[in-house]
Copies of this chain bind each other. A is one copy, B any other.
Amino acid sequence: MAEQTTTTTTVSNSPPLKRPREGDGISSVIPGWFSEISPMWPGEAHSLKVEKVLFQGKSDYQNVMVFQSATYGKVLVLDGVIQLTERDECAYQEMITHLPLCSIPNPKKVLVVGGGDGGVLREVARHASVEHIDICEIDKMVVDVSKEFFPNVAIGYEDPRVKLHIGDGVAFLKAAPEGSYDAVIVDSSDPIGPAQELFEKPFFESVAKALRPGGVVCTQAESIWLHMHIIEDIVANCRQVFKGSVNYAWTTVPTYPSGVIGFMLCSTEGPEVDFKNPINPIDENDNECKSVGPLKFYNREIHSAAFCLPSFAKKVIEAKARK
């Protein structure tokens, strides 16, 4: 969930600090704890105990912070919102990547929008069929910070198939040649603030145009417990734009609000894609990049299970999807 985020905290333009300050989410709650407070999840906050703040800076787009937590390893925070922790990042990165890539045969060309930490790249690189991976991340500071503090995540950049573009994902997609990608993965932050465009119809139209027939997109799509109104809109937009299949999946990520995160998985008109029954398996012991270690979270069963929704969510999403 890198790229643009909403600003709920204020940090001055001073150089990176080693000490937490008022207003960045740390000193507002228990001293020595980081608390995630946002209008996106009013009335609740998840807090992590801070051992040491390792980095604090302000890029052209957002406040960037890295801290060593007591029990979740190192944590990357953008504008006061947790993007990843070493302890649970596997769930998000593996699911947002393998849900789309295991659903199509032989993906060759993949675009990642956002995802500057490199974790999605690490997962895409497990697929031996992939020949080229473009990544368009707006904020170079996220890339640099990840390379410095999260080597097991940023290891994705070491793959020779990766080409990094620092810039706006919306513009990048508009300029992309038609029908050029097998898969687009949108690893974005929340849709209030600058990332809002990544949840709207014109962006989905650019994605659809850049995909080959029967190509797939997977976008971060919030929490069924917190954001059904946003999800409803995303589903409605996707249904209009993507003429193949339109699906919602979810998984557990303890350090994301409400403990879950969802994904929209859509395909363009062309060869049919049955996301619920993956045809391109990737197994622990059968992947390209031995150096990144085995899969920790993803497997074939949890792929199919991710599309099974609680009744309250199913009702809303299927109603929208049918229209």
Give me the interface of A with B, judged by CB distance under 8 Å: 28-30, 33, 35, 42-49, 69-72, 87-88, 90-91, 225-226, 250, 252-254, 256, 258-260, 284, 294-299, 301-302, 304-306, 308-312, 314
Residues from chain B with a CB closer than 8 A to the CB of A298 are 310-311
**Is B302 within 8 A of A308, CB to CB?**
yes
**Is B302 within 8 A of A310, CB to CB?**
yes
Chain B nearest CB from A215 CB (Å) reads 27
Checking B29, B254, B260, B312 against A30 with a beta-carbon cut-off of 8 angstroms, the contacting residue is B29
Checking B28, B69, B87, B225 against A252 with a beta-carbon cut-off of 8 angstroms, the contacting residue is B225
Chain B nearest CB from A298 CB (Å) reads 7
**Is B33 within 8 A of A45, CB to CB?**
yes
* A310–B28 CA distance with the chains assembled, in angstroms: 35
* A308–B305 CA distance with the chains assembled, in angstroms: 7
* A254–B252 CA distance with the chains assembled, in angstroms: 10
* A179–B47 CA distance with the chains assembled, in angstroms: 47
Residues from chain B with a CB closer than 8 A to the CB of A258 are 252, 254, 259
* A6–B46 CA distance with the chains assembled, in angstroms: 22
Chain B nearest CB from A185 CB (Å) reads 20
**Is A42 within 8 A of B70, CB to CB?**
yes
* A226–B259 CA distance with the chains assembled, in angstroms: 13
Checking B30, B295, B296, B314 against A28 with a beta-carbon cut-off of 8 angstroms, the contacting residue is B30
Q: Which residue of B lies closest to A226 (CB)?
A: B254
Chain B nearest CB from A146 CB (Å) reads 22
Tell me how many chains of this kind the complex includes.
2
**Is A43 within 8 A of B70, CB to CB?**
yes
Checking B43, B259, B301 against A308 with a beta-carbon cut-off of 8 angstroms, the contacting residue is B301
Question: Nearest 5 CB-CB pairs, A to B?
Answer: A259-B259, A43-B71, A43-B70, A305-B305, A305-B308
**Is B30 within 8 A of A45, CB to CB?**
yes
Q: Pick 21 A–B contacts, CB within 8 A, sort by A.
A: A29-B47, A30-B45, A42-B71, A43-B69, A44-B47, A44-B48, A44-B49, A44-B72, A45-B46, A46-B46, A47-B47, A87-B225, A90-B312, A226-B254, A254-B258, A254-B260, A295-B311, A298-B311, A299-B308, A302-B308, A302-B310
Among A304, A305, A311, residue most surrounded by chain B Cβ atoms (within 10 Å)? A311
Residues from chain B with a CB closer than 8 A to the CB of A90 are 312
**Is B70 within 8 A of A47, CB to CB?**
no
Chain B nearest CB from A186 CB (Å) reads 23
Residues from chain B with a CB closer than 8 A to the CB of A44 are 46-49, 71-72
Checking B253, B260, B296 against A312 with a beta-carbon cut-off of 8 angstroms, the contacting residue is B296
Q: Which residue of B lies closest to A303 (CB)?
A: B308
* A43–B48 CA distance with the chains assembled, in angstroms: 6
A-B contacts besides A91-B310, A304-B305, 4 pairs, CB < 8 Å: A43-B49, A45-B47, A225-B252, A225-B254
**Is B302 within 8 A of A309, CB to CB?**
yes
Q: Which residue of B lies closest to A313 (CB)?
A: B297
* A312–B302 CA distance with the chains assembled, in angstroms: 12
* A156–B43 CA distance with the chains assembled, in angstroms: 29
